[in-house]
Structures are given as C-alpha cells and as structure tokens.
Amino acid sequence: MTNPEPPSPAPSFFESAVATRRGDDGTTGLLFGGERIAKDDPRTEAYGTIDEAVAALGVARAQLGLKGRIGTLSAGFGELPEILLRLQRELFVAAAELATREDAWERQVEGVSRVSADMVDGLETMLREAEAHIAMPSEFVVPGETTVSAALEVARTVVRRAERRAVTLGTAGLIPGPHLLPYLNRLADLLWVLARAAEQAESRSAPPSRPDRRRSAVTRSTE
C-alpha cells in the first residue's frame, strides 16, 4: 500500500497593483462604494460598452500617430488627434455616470462624473464646424476607405451600442441625469462626420452602399 500524496500547497498570490481578486466571484464594485453588482448587470454592460468605445477611439488615434498629423479640419476646429483625445476623456464621464448607485447620485459632479449640458453643446459645436468643412455624402457609404476612417466607424458603432444599453437603463429609471442619452446620440453623429473628414483629408471618399450608384464627387475642399 502506497502512502497517499500530500495535499497540494495553497497557491501563493503575488501582490498586484491591478488584480484585486474581489471580482473572481463575478461581481464588481460601483463608484462611491456600496453593494457590489454582477458583471453582467445592465449597468455594467452599459459602462463596459462605453469603455470599448474609448478603446476604439484609441485605435483611431493610434492610426493617426502612424500616419502623422492629417491636418486641421478648419482654422478654429483643431486637429483630429486632440479631438479624439477630448472625446475619450469625456466618455470617462459618461461611464462614471452609469457606474454610480442610485443612493450616490447626489454625489456626482457635472462634467466630472455626470454628463453636462455643456458637453452636449460642445459636441454640437464640433459637429457644426466639421460639417462646414467637408463634402457630405448624399447616401449611405461603405466604411474602409482609409484606416483612420474605418477605426472611427468602429468607434461609432460601439457608441451606438452603448446608447442602446443606456436606453435600456433609462427605461428602468437608472440614468441619473438628462444629458447622457443626447450626448451618446450626438457623439455617434460626430464620429460619422469625422470619419468622412479623415477620408477627405487624404483626398479619398467612401464608396456608396449601392454598387449601381455612381460615387459622388467631392466638390468642396477639406482644407
């Protein structure tokens, strides 16, 4: 009769600055503390999708870095890398709004942990200025004409998914402020326009969605 094998020693964990191990049970914490929620909670789905949008915009910004500065959209509008970085930072505010428990909503700060009216107004200003400096397509277009515009289109579709998740939360009364949904809606519109601006900055234009339609010529300068 052989002796039984000794029990395996308990695993030793290294001290990690990232891994807290508290989420190993499938739960996560929200801002300002309180009871933890499941990682597949609708709130987690919503702000997690916003996190995806931030990453997708990072891909677009990295593509710009590979290409070098594409150039200004207009004298007063700014350059695409700075615009995308601003949008990434603003999305952190939107995520914070969704990651706050109802009993802590009063602790949110406009423009820091809750989307503000000024943030929506800022998007509308950028949208108006961008539209003034590009030739707008007359029909749906197929993404993929340039690497930057394709990355922006991916970010746009992720923002639309975040918007759908947020609508679900809004129906359940889980959005504290009135500006988050308009912000996500306007942001998706802006990203579509910025994708066209990125194409036209490289003297390109996306093909139309219908193959039997002639591609509309770009008749206005994007400089």
Q: What is the pLDDT of residue 192?
A: 93
H or E element in which residue 144 lies: none
- CB of 192 within 8 A of CB of 69? no
User: In the CATH hierarchy, which top-level class contains the domain 38-201?
Assistant: mainly alpha
* Helix pair 147-171, 80-98: axis angle to 10 deg: 20
Give the separation between CA 192 and CA 53, rounded to whole angstroms: 14
DSSP 3-state of 114: strand
* Domain residue ranges of the chain, discontinuous segments joined by +: 38-201
Provide the pLDDT confidence category of residue 185 given band limits of 50, 70 and 90.
Answer: very high
Count each helix (H run) and each strand (E run) in the chain, helices first.
Answer: 5, 2
Q: What is the pLDDT of residue 122?
A: 96
Amino acid at 220: R
- The 10s digit of each residue's pLDDT in 139-179 is 788 878 788 899 999 999 999 999 999 999 999 999 999 99
- Mean pLDDT across the stretch 102-123? 93
- The 10s digit of each residue's pLDDT in 79-112 is 888 899 999 999 999 999 998 888 888 999 999 9
Q: What is the pLDDT of residue 133?
A: 82
Torsion of CA 174, 126, 110, 59, to 10 degrees: 70
H or E element in which residue 27 lies: strand 27-28
Q: What is the pLDDT of residue 64?
A: 82
Least confident of 33-37, 41-45, 140-144: 33-37
Chain centre to alpha carbon of residue 165: 13
